[in-house]
Amino acid sequence: MDGAFFAFALTVVAGLATSFGGLMVLCTKIANKKFLAVSLSFSAGVMLYVSFAEIFLEAHEYLEEAHGNGAGYAILILSFFGGLALMALVDKFIPHDESHTDSLQSSNNNLKHVGISSAIAIAIHNFPEGFIIFMAALYDPIMGIGVAIAIIIHNIPEGIAVASPIYHGTGSKAKAFLAATAAGLTEPLGAIVGWLLFRNIFGSLDGLYGIIFAAVAGIMVFVAIHQLLPTAQKHGKHHLVMKGLFIGMGVMAVSILLLEVFG
């Protein structure tokens, strides 16, 4: 029981790292367009790199183990593009402001839309991460701490991805902070659900886990390319946006390296 409590506590700490990312956004002035552009493109870099260099590859391993190379890869592709399609559907039903009579109001609504979409994608992404931390810590506390540290590093910019557009779109620090926090709290929720699955149907998780990871990769790629980067371009110069994008990729690469070293 003590081991399970420690493992769960790690998932809570890792999930709350998104809150810290939200606080970083709130320490800047609302009119700071450069910070907005960089934070959005930085988050896009994080999402793209983690999607293709970690999540997609993890999904492939799980599905290959569960279904074999050919069938596993087919399911991987279907799940990835299914995630893209799902996010496109969600994007369609989140309200947009298409009016051009008030450009400032339209821009603000677009930022809120980006923030909501980012929160959905990150919340889904954090759900299986909670399970990963919990299981690692349950069997080896030192490994669990290492995995948690690596995930905390990339949860901070994910908190920025949620809070920044919501804050700049609404002017509300409370809404931005609560959205970032809510996106992170799916991590301990994933630990709880994962624990229940582990106790009952652990042997059948590989295939389902692979599908979830592949779909999440598709969701995050959609958010990064369709929403974060175009919005960043509206608020900053191209070279500034590209710097943020590549720095985000670099930070994500370092966090994955830490995950490999400590895991």
- Residue pLDDT, tens place only, 52-100: 988 788 889 889 988 888 999 999 999 999 989 988 887 776 554 444 4
pLDDT (0 to 100) of residue 86: 84
pTM higher than the cut 0.85? no
pLDDT (0 to 100) of residue 106: 55
Residue 26 CB: number of other CB atoms within 10 A? 15
| 142-161: average pLDDT | 76
pLDDT (0 to 100) of residue 262: 65
Q: How far is CA 12 from CA 3, 144, 177, 218, 219, in A?
A: 15, 13, 16, 25, 23
pLDDT (0 to 100) of residue 100: 41
203 has a pLDDT exceeding 70? no
Q: Which residues neighbour 47 within 8 Å (Cβ) at sequence distance 6 or greater?
A: 121, 161, 220, 221, 223, 224, 228, 248
- Residue pLDDT, tens place only, 127-143: 777 877 887 787 678 77
pLDDT interval class at 200 (50, 70, 90): low
pLDDT (0 to 100) of residue 196: 77
184 has a pLDDT exceeding 80? yes
On whether the CB atoms of residues 67 and 207 are closer than 8 A, the answer is yes
Q: How much is the mean pLDDT over the chain?
A: 79
Of all residues in the chain, what percent are helix, strand and coil, respectively (each to 5)? Answer: 90, 0, 10
For the chain, the domain total comes to 1
The Cα–Cα gap between 191 and 151 comes to: 14
On whether the CB atoms of residues 147 and 136 are closer than 8 A, the answer is yes
The domain containing residue 70 runs over which residues? 2-262
On whether the CB atoms of residues 176 and 26 are closer than 8 A, the answer is yes
pLDDT (0 to 100) of residue 102: 46
> Angle of helix 173-184 relative to helix 186-201, nearest 10 degrees?
20
Q: What would the two tokens of residue 2 be? A: 């003590």
